[in-house]
Structure 1
């Protein structure tokens, strides 16, 4: 979202490096990333639509989730993209 609707790939990557180096907190940098999206004129509703159009599930996930639900096994989803935020 930040790469395409916010302040772009390079600035987002630089923010990630600042977090990893301990010069910025995840909270503060993530807030700036999200603010860059709205500062570019994008609404929350528009962002939700972009996500819906571009999100995909790993092959086999639906079967895995159905099995877990059927057997009362909790599932916690961690997106690999969360670490790139």
Structure 2
């Protein structure tokens, strides 16, 4: 069911350019962050799995919580207003 919803073709007026554009040109920073995050969590889990899977899960969760804490700490650095539209 989920697969059919995800790949279903849209016929509405709002479907088109912007959606395709985002898929064609993904954000490189977002891709890099996703790749590094997946590698970090995988490495943490696999390194900790030598001492037991429970320990590995705890270590991985600690890393995830640390990353979330850093993200929350960086929130005040984000701009408060959207940039003016260039069009």
Larger of the two Rg values belongs to structure: 2
Alignment TM class, shorter chain as reference: 0.3 to 0.5
Bigger relative contact order, structure 1 or 2, given CA contacts below 8 A and separation 6+? 1
Q: Tell me the TM-score normalised to structure 1 length.
A: 0.32
Q: If each structure's helix is expressed as a fraction of its own residues, which one has the higher value?
A: 2
